[in-house]
Structure 1
Amino acid sequence: MQLPLPVSLPVDETFDSFVSGTDTELVTLLQALAYAVPDWRDASLFQGVASLKLPMVTLLGSAGRGKSHLLYALCHEIAARDIPHVYLNLNNAEAWPANAFEGFETLPLVCLDNIHAIAGNKTLELALFDLINRVVESQQTVLVCTSRLGPSNPAFVLPDLRSRLSWGVTYQLHALSDEARKTVVRNRATARGLRLSEQALQFLLHHSERDIPSLINLLDRLDTRSLQEQKKLSVNMVKRELGLY
């Protein structure tokens, strides 16, 4: 088996930095899973959370719901225990060969981000179908995927793959409330050492794109501006960055 080159995951995308909102059960499951791999078949490790039944978990939801964040967090926990695993972002899969997933069923954990990106690519759909079958047969691997498309979505052209994607546990991630969004931005600002006034925070949330990636991107730009101007983040600074005057 030839593993892909290691991927550098965002160091601040951890379970501690994830604001779960109404998705607490999913976060609890993934945290339990991080400490259960490779002994995921021990049901006692999953008391109080959904049964795994099959070694596959799918995180489902539209962009900006935190699916990738949770995969990164899971990988960080596994890496800290020196457990072999692999993370792949299928947004980059267009030119991958048919054997892209070969041998993954021997690893304790496989994380596949954005599997919707291969929908319609029969070669890679078949490769994923075969991987799921091997994972279930080997009983050595936990497979955790994220997708914007539900398992029965006809964009996946192979009926057998749609069937396999319905196996295991599927969780729908929900949009965060306004208060939870505020917590995300405030926590990220604090982690960066940024001084963000409550007025600036409120203005930012009400005058920018509301999805979390856009908010974090804006915070990064404000971080740069704050360093350049040697000032804390103010309403006026947010206005200038947003081009509102």
Structure 2
Amino acid sequence: MNATQQIPLALEPRPALGREDFLVAPCNAVAAGWIDAWPDWPVPLVTLVGPAGSGKTHLAQVWRARSGAAELDPATGDAADLTEALGEAHAAVVDDAERLAGQPAGERGLFHLYNLMRERSGHLLLTARHPPSRWSITLPDLRSRLESGAVAALGEPDDALMGALLVKLFADRQLRPGAGAIDYLLLRMERSHAAACRLVARLDQRALAERRELRLPLVRAVLEETEREDASAERS
């Protein structure tokens, strides 16, 4: 190892997950509006739907902090276990709920959780890649209940949101990119939240390992490396 390099510790910074940290744009305004409207929801269930990194988990955590919701995995226990885990809460969050579809225990648990929320006049928030109407659910009663809820979609970011997202991701890591670095990335990188998260993490690691500032030469090198690796992965 070069004497000027150091091995970066595998420590991920905690992202800023407050409501004021969520960047609202046309692609996510409807979903943010549902979170802001709580507790005046006209339905007991809302499902946040969108691709990886689109902000579903961020909004779910904002709502969890605001509502006092319990974060549960319905596949990990029976009805009694879920009731105990829920405690006195009148709200619950299930992340990546789509994975429960087709799992008998998971579907039964989610069905029980939905009914508990109805009995308590509470609310249930789910996150998923696709709306419940596209899940491979085998329990008819669960399907009908999920499809009766509201679906709020989050899309991929536009130019303005992508730039603001990069600024936030760098700030979460206490990084200050040099002049022109963000504009360079916006013109060339994959246009998704997930890609932005991966790229900023990689830039952070490289800058720390090589003790370099985040100026254009480093940004260009890391982005070109990432593109080569992605292209190689697609060919294999």
Identify the TM-score tier after normalising by the shorter chain.
0.7 to 0.9
1:5-154 alignment, distance < 5 Å: 10-22=14-26, 23-33=28-38, 40=39, 46=40, 52-78=41-67, 83=68, 85-88=69-72, 93=75, 96-99=76-79, 101-103=82-84, 104=86, 106-139=88-121, 141-154=122-135
Kindly state the Cα deviation for residue 240 of structure 1 after the two structures are TM-superposed: 2.5
Letter of the 1:188 counterpart:
L
Checking the alignment, whether the CA contact within 8 Å between 2:95 and 2:126 is kept in structure 1 is yes
TM-score of the two chains, using structure 1 as the length reference: 0.75
CA distance in structure 2 between the aligned counterparts of 1:10 and 1:112, rounded to whole angstroms:
21
Unaligned runs of 5+ in 2: 1-12, 229-236
Look up the match of 1:171. Answer: 152
Bigger relative contact order (CA 8 A; separation at least 6): 2
TM-score of the two chains, using structure 2 as the length reference: 0.77
Checking the alignment, whether the CA contact within 8 Å between 2:22 and 2:58 is kept in structure 1 is yes
Greater helix proportion:
2
Percent identity of paired positions between Structure 1 and Structure 2: 27
SS in 2 for 1:170: strand
Look up the match of 2:180. Answer: 199
**Structure-2 change in CA distance of 1:165 and 1:86 (3 Å):** same
CA distance in structure 1 between the aligned counterparts of 2:105 and 2:174, rounded to whole angstroms:
46
1:180-222 residue CA offsets vs partner (Å, 9 max, x unmatched): 1111001221343322134221332343333212211221221
Look up the match of 1:218. Answer: 199
CA distance in structure 2 between the aligned counterparts of 1:97 and 1:89, rounded to whole angstroms:
8
Kindly state the Cα deviation for residue 89 of structure 1 after the two structures are TM-superposed: 6.0
Unaligned runs of 5+ in 1: 1-8, 34-39, 41-45, 47-51
Deviates more, 1:160-169 or 1:198-207: 198-207
SS in 1 for 2:83: coil
CA distance in structure 2 between the aligned counterparts of 1:215 and 1:59, rounded to whole angstroms:
21
Count of equivalent residues: 211
**Structure-2 change in CA distance of 1:77 and 1:97 (3 Å):** closer
Look up the match of 1:239. Answer: 220
**Structure-2 change in CA distance of 1:124 and 1:66 (3 Å):** same
CA distance in structure 1 between the aligned counterparts of 2:115 and 2:91, rounded to whole angstroms:
15
SS in 2 for 1:16: helix
**Structure-2 change in CA distance of 1:130 and 1:17 (3 Å):** same
Letter of the 1:27 counterpart:
A
SS in 1 for 2:200: helix
